[in-house]
Amino acid sequence: MNVTELKIEKFESFLLDVPTIRPHILSMATMHSQTIVLLRITFSDGTVGLGEASTIGGLAYGDESPEGIKVSLDSYFAPLLLNQPYKSVGGTMLRINKNIVGNRFAKNAIEIALMDAMGHRLGVPVSELLGGRIVDHIPVLWVLASGDLSKDIAEAEEMIASRRHNVFKIKIGKRSVDQDVAHVAAIKQALGDAASIRVDVNQAWTRWQANRGSAMLADAGIDLIEQPLRHDDIEGMKQLVQQGRIAIMADESVQGPKIAFDMTTAYSADVYSIKIAQSGGLSEAARVASIVSISGAAPYGGTMLEPHIGTVASAQLFSTFPSLEWGTELFAPLLLKEQYVNETLDYVDFGLTVPNSPGLGISLDEDKVSYFSRK
Q: pLDDT at residue 60 above 80?
A: no
What's the pLDDT at 26?
66
Using pLDDT thresholds of 50, 70 and 90, give the confidence band for residue 178. very high
pTM reported for the whole predicted model? 0.93
More confident residue, 143 or 21: 143
Gap between the Cα atoms of 298 and 212, Å rounded: 24
Using pLDDT thresholds of 50, 70 and 90, give the confidence band for residue 27. low
Q: Which fold has domain 129-353?
A: TIM Barrel (3.20.20)
Q: pLDDT at residue 1 above 80?
A: no
- Answer whether 127's CB lies under 8 Å from 316's CB: yes
Gap between the Cα atoms of 371 and 280, Å rounded: 29
pLDDT, average across residues 98-121: 97
Using pLDDT thresholds of 50, 70 and 90, give the confidence band for residue 273. very high
Q: How many C-alpha atoms does 127 have within 13 Å on its Cβ side?
A: 21
* Residue 171 known to be catalytic: yes
Compute the residue count for the chain. Answer: 375
Which segment of 15-24, 221-230, 299-308, 317-326 scores lowest on mean pLDDT? 15-24
Given 70, 107, 169, 171, the catalytic residue: 171
pLDDT, average across residues 171-196: 95
pLDDT, average across residues 25-31: 70
Q: pLDDT at residue 181 above 80?
A: yes
Q: pLDDT at residue 3 above 90?
A: no
Longest distance between any two alpha carbons in the chain, whole Å: 64
Gap between the Cα atoms of 56 and 215, Å rounded: 28
Superfamily, domain 3-123+365-372: Enolase-like, N-terminal domain (3.30.390.10)
The structural domains of the chain, with segments of one domain joined by +, span 3-123+365-372, 129-353
pLDDT, average across residues 353-371: 96
